Structure 1
Amino acid sequence: MAIETMTPRRDTLLDVEPVPGLSAVLTDAAEVLGRRIPSSGPRSLAGVAQLLNQIWDAVVAIVTEPATATDLARATALLARIRAVEAELAAARAPDGAADLRRTGEAIALLRGAQSTDELLTRAAESVGAMGFDRALVSTTDGPTWNMHTMFIADDQRWAEEIVAAGREAPPTLDGQLVESDIVARARPGLVFDVQHNPRVVRPIVTMTRCSSYAVAPLIVNGAVAGLVHGDFYFQRREVDPTARAMLAVFAEGLGQAMAGTLLLDGLTAMRAGFDRILSPGPVPSTATPALSTREIEVVDLLAGGRANRQIARELAISEATVKTHITHILRKLGAANRAEAVAYWLRRPTPR
């Protein structure tokens, strides 16, 4: 298997207006944040991306701060629009000069408008097909577990569903034995050849797919590998090549940016639902705050800060399994159905810790 880094992209200057939706986002962000944000003059693509990151962090900070008087619906909508503009930037930053890579930018643009992570990943598989791949598999990773989410096969979606079902029935483990373990560990794209005889592939799946080679790229979200994107040219009866790897890597980068947004939006949507349940008319809830242990308080505070299990484990120097155990206890003690509801309850608890 070959693994190579991508060639650095050129950065160009552009006016604000040619990036669709950017001016409106800057104007709305200024009103939501209550401060002026420069919206004129040329900016580099990297400069626009940095500015959007800063705005994103600022909006998330006020949304998750219970003491701040914020129009939650408007702030949430703004976050969704920021990710839409970032998708435009990802498409604009795709390497130019080759028709294949231009199609990559167009494929990234197809991700716009996804309202949830599930919808985004489902749409992503078909978008890979729009780049010229005959088949595409989009999956997520949870520690060593590889979870197949959606597969696209041109003109044979039933076959795609059967393959995904087989993968879900017995999820592969990324324990170093599979090629995909290297992709995740190194966070770099790769090419896999002689698949039917390769000892480092998921044998039941490659038998079903009958492929001879494939390209695979890591899906990176907030600096960590959160999934994988696979593609091949099965019906065209040709092998994958470095161009295919580059296309898939650039697409996965754009998908990762979009997924960072939908994951937070998923959480905010659930949090809003939790707030609505807490504030809706009905029996008055108990004012007593359930007794959490010192460690559980640390965990729920980090959950409220938007940390994932892996990040919490790293910050508290404990294992992910221990984090999951603490979260289970927190949900039971708070009477919450899920993490977002627990966070909503904790942020609005009537008594100090």
Structure 2
Amino acid sequence: MLQYASPAQEEWRRSADPIRTFALRDDLEGLRDRLVDLGILDAGSAGFDDVDEAQELLDQAFTGATEALAAGHASAGDHAALVDLLLELRELNARLRGEREAGRVAALGRVREAMGLLRGVSTVEQMMERGPVAAAHLGFDRTFVSSIKDACFVPYSCFVGGDTEWAKAIVRAGQEQPRKLDRRLLETEMVRRRQPLRVLDAQNDPRVHQEIAKVSMSRSYVAAPIVVQDRVIGFVHADFFFAKRLVRTSDAELLWMFAEAFGSAFERIAAGEQLRVMRRTFQRAMAETDATFAHICDRELSFESTIATEPARPEGPLPIAGTPPVPAGAPVPTELADLLTKRELEVLRLMAEGATNDGIAQRLVISHGTAKTHVKHILRKLRAANRAEAVSRFFQLRGEH
């Protein structure tokens, strides 16, 4: 996991991952007393109820015991006590691992409950809008879901318990000042490594999104990448602002589990939307075909007409959902029709309107990669060096200079 920290804010307390097994907690307290008797720990050491602190205690005890044995100065009685201590440390380490594993199982249950809030969502838009609410169900005070648009980190929706206006302000700050995903931004590491992020001093770290940090006033947050079809398409961020708690490693792991489940659900819903668009397009094409067939079959025959005459129909591909209709009086030049496929002609028309690859993908309900591939094929077939040259060629062939 990626972790970034500056001097911790004094008014924010360290988060604790408590040991829930009372017997293990009691045994760790007994170990602490024995370590004090053996001179490995100071007498004023506090108790250990937190999993991370307990692990530090065990590591410190193991180091102290092995160093004492290696020194060779211990009496026979102390030597036996140190050997017993090492055996006990091994057993306590195993129990502590079991405690961590139980925590992960509980976290999976919380993720399952959070994803249950998205049950019934049928569109990508609904998914993005409700995502922060579901993430907050994990126990965070504030959450927001963002997307990657034109290689920029752009917030989409935010949840702030009891303050919708503040949530809107956080989203607005990110949308009005989008940040490029370059080496100066921490979120870029999530795209590159596909690991969660943990930040302990957001206000003083120059690599965070400064505009969002200023409006949100966040001190410590975690974030995780949303991966769809092996590509990072966005992020989920969360913090404990109202509780004034610094995030811990387990918080980042919990959010990461949620982001993975969210990405899988997102992919399924997006595929469903594409199928619905394809079904509507097919039904519309079939209806048009039926109407044309009926028109031909129902015509009265006469000497002035022949069966072979076809009714006039617009040139070019049928419009599909999300794309503009073919402009009137703009037939496809023969040279273009011979060079390009119907889909490539649609992409070229959208390029002529100034659409980006993302815009083309959204209008034609295809992936960003597919849109990019179509553009590449168009440039090669038209022998154009760039998009502007291809569009210019398009207008020239249509007789528009």
TM-score range with shorter-chain normalisation?
Answer: 0.5 to 0.7
In the alignment, structure 1 residue 286 sits paired with structure 2 residue 314: yes
Q: Give the stretch that moved more between structures: 288-297 or 221-230.
A: 288-297
Alignment of 1:224-303 (within 5 A): 224-280=231-287, 285-286=313-314, 290=332, 291-292=336-337, 294=339
Q: Contact 1:103–1:131 at 8 Å: present in 2 too?
A: yes
Once the two structures are superposed, residues 146-179 of structure 1 have per-residue CA deviations (whole angstroms, 9 ceiling, x without a partner) of 2211101111111101111221122221122110
Per-residue Cα deviation, 1:111-167 (whole angstroms, up to 9, x for no partner):
222110110111111001111000001011134112211101111111101111221
In the alignment, which of 159, 170, 174 is matched to residue 166 of structure 2?
A: 159
**Structure 2 partner of 1:217:** 224
Matched residue of 2:179: which SS?
coil
Cα displacement string for residues 190-211 of structure 1 (whole angstroms, at most 9, x for unaligned residues):
1012110000011111011111
- Residue 107 of structure 1: CA displacement? 0.8
Counterpart in the other structure of 2:61: none
- 1:146-225 to 2 correspondences below 5 Å: 146-225=153-232
Aligned residue pairs: how many? 238
Shift of the 319–241 alpha-carbon distance from structure 1 to 2, 3 Å rule, reads farther
1:313–1:319 Cα contact (<8 Å) kept? no
Deviation at 1:216, TM superposition (A): 0.5
| DSSP-derived class of the 1:195 partner | coil
In the alignment, is the contact (CA less than 8 A) between 2:316 and 2:342 conserved in 1?
no
* CA RMSD across the alignment: 3.8
Residues 156 and 3 of structure 1, relative CA distance in 2, 3 Å threshold: same
Comparing 276-285 and 175-184, the one that deviates more: 276-285
SS of 2:206 mapped into structure 1: coil
Q: TM-score, normalising length from structure 2?
A: 0.51
Q: Are 2:369 and 1:310 equivalent residues in the alignment?
A: yes
Tell me, yes or no, if the aligned pair for 2:344 and 2:374 is still in contact at 8 Å.
Answer: no
Displacement after TM superposition at 1:287 (Å): 5.5
Shift of 1:270: 2.9
Q: Cα deviation per residue 1:30-79 (whole Å; 9 max; x = unaligned)?
A: xxxxxxxxxxxxxxxxxxxxxxxxxxxxxxxxxxxxxxxxxxxxxxxxxx
Aligned counterpart, 1:47: none
Counterpart Cα distance in 2 of 1:130 and 1:275: 40
Q: How high is the TM-score relative to the length of structure 1?
A: 0.58
Three-state SS of the structure 2 residue aligned to 1:196 is: coil
Match of 1:2 in 2: 2
Change (3 A) 1:150 1:314: same
Query: Residues 220 and 239 of structure 2 are in contact (CA less than 8 Å); yes or no, is this contact kept in structure 1?
Result: yes
Return the alpha-carbon distance in structure 2 between the equivalents of residues 325 and 184 of structure 1: 27
Q: 1:178 to 1:112 in 2, by over 3 A?
A: same
Deviation at 1:229, TM superposition (A): 0.5
SS of match in other structure, 1:175: coil
Q: CA distance change for structure 1 residues 288 and 247 in 2, over 3 Å: closer, same or farther?
A: closer
Distance 1:300 1:148 in 2: 33
Cα distance in 2, alignment partners of residues 247 and 319 from structure 1: 45
Q: Give the 3 Å change call, closer, same or farther, for CA 239–319 of structure 1 in structure 2.
A: farther
The CA deviation at 1:317 is: 6.8
Q: Which moved more, 1:118-127 or 1:272-281?
A: 272-281
Matched, 1:107 2:166: no
How far is the alpha carbon of 1:256 from its aligned partner?
A: 0.5
Q: Are 2:222 and 2:239, in contact at CA under 8 Å, matched by a contact in 1?
A: yes
Task: Report deviation, 1:312.
Answer: 5.4
Indicate how the Cα distance of structure 1 residues 206 and 292 shifts in structure 2: closer, same or farther if over 3 A, else same: farther
- 1:219–1:226 CA contact under 8 A, matched in 2: yes
Classify 1:271/1:182 alpha carbon distance in 2 versus 1 (closer, same or farther; 3 Å).
same
Whose Rg is larger?
Answer: 2
Contact 2:173–2:215 (Cα < 8 Å) also in 1: no
Shift of 1:285: 3.5
Q: Provide the identity percentage.
A: 28
Give the SS at the match of 1:197.
coil
How has the CA–CA distance of structure 1 residues 106 and 319 changed in structure 2, closer, same or farther, with 3 Å as cutoff?
farther
Q: Which runs of 5+ in 2 are unaligned?
A: 5-100, 293-311, 318-331, 348-360, 396-401
**Cα–Cα, structure 1 residues 227 and 145, in superposed 2: closer, same or farther, change >3 Å?**
same
Give the Cα separation in 2 of the matches to 1:240 and 1:133. 10
Is residue 218–residue 225 contact of structure 1 (8 Å, CA) maintained in 2? yes
**Contact 2:115-2:261 within 8 A present in 1 as well:** yes
Instruction: Output aligned runs, 1:5-84, within 5 Å.
Output: none
Write the distance in 2 (CA, Å) between the matches of 1:192 and 1:180: 11
Conserved 8 A contact 1:96-1:102: no
Kindly indicate whether the alpha-carbon contact (under 8 Å) linking 2:194 and 2:225 is maintained by their aligned counterparts in 1.
yes
5+ long unaligned stretches in structure 1:
5-94, 334-353
**What is the deviation of 1:288?**
5.6
Deviation at 1:301, TM superposition (A): 11
